Amino acid sequence: MDKLPTVTTVVLNWNGLADTRECLQSLRSTDYPANRIVLVDNGSREDEASVLASEFGDFLEVIRLPENEGFAGGMNAGIRRALELGTDYVLLLNNDTIVDPSFLRGLVDGVSDLKDLAAANPKAYFYGRPRTIYSTGGAVSLWRGVARQIGRGQIDTGQFDKRARREYADGMCLLIPTAAIRKVGLLDEEYFAYWEETDWCLRARDMGLRCYFIPNSRIWHKAERSQAPSAKFHYLYRRNALLFVRKRGTGLQVATTIAAQALFYAPLYFLRHPTKIARVAAEFRALVWHSRNRPKERPLV
């Protein structure tokens, strides 16, 4: 065990007791002994932190936040604790995932020779369709303000069985060397939720670090249970897509993103989903936010 790189896994819980319990049960079955678990409760309505501490207190530490700090703020609390404790890697893991027993060993072994590592993610499948790929990492365009998960929806036939570089690593399961965190900084809390990991990965790229997909590591994500995203999701996602381009792109890229979203992506979406017209209000609120707010220049460090 002393020869293994140490990992601190941060799991964020917010009113998700059943999912978090299943996630932690799968983590308990992993075969990587040099892994410490930090559970951050993000201001859940009920005292879910105490329930989870009583069930899993033998192998995790619980941090209780008084209110919901968003994905970025909650994960940052766990990252700070991981740095205090001392660790070689920090693993950010969504609570609605289930992991393969050897997933962490596969991740750590898969990045051991990478000198330019910013972050890495495993091969992720849909929980309800266990051989259908959810993500192998992603690509992003500052010219259009869009990000896509490579391989999403494909049946796994071995087409993604080689390690590969990605423009960003998917935030549902993100292995980051401690050295990269100290160099790049924490997640930018202005995003609150969505796009924060993409932002972090591009900040890392600007510093000469790279993201990778590691095929010999597998997890399953309960993504399909949210088939009707809320107005808050649409608002935050669109606000943050534009925020990302304003922070990381040029003025010309901001202009092309607005044009692409208004003249192509939005009409195409409503042609395909004519009953989703209520989404317009949330998208409009996102534009209003940008008309009134200037993005913060620097994220937390």
User: Does 262 have pLDDT greater than 80?
Assistant: yes
Helix (H, G, I), strand (E, B) or coil at 277: coil
**Confidence check: pLDDT of 213 > 80:** yes
Is 129:156 a contact under the CB 8 Å cutoff?
Answer: no
User: Rounded to whole angstroms, how far apart are CA atoms 196 and 13?
Assistant: 17
Predicted TM-score (pTM) above 0.75 = yes
pLDDT-derived band at 180, boundaries 50, 70, 90? very high
Strands, DSSP E only, in the chain?
7-13, 35-42, 60-65, 89-93, 97-99, 117-126, 129-135, 138-141, 146-149, 164-166, 173-177, 210-221
Residue 74, burial from CB neighbour count under 10 angstroms (0-12, 13-18, 19+): buried
Cβ 127 vs Cβ 182: under 8 Å:
no
pLDDT digits (tens, 9 = 90+) for 116-155: 999 999 999 999 999 999 999 999 999 999 999 999 999 9
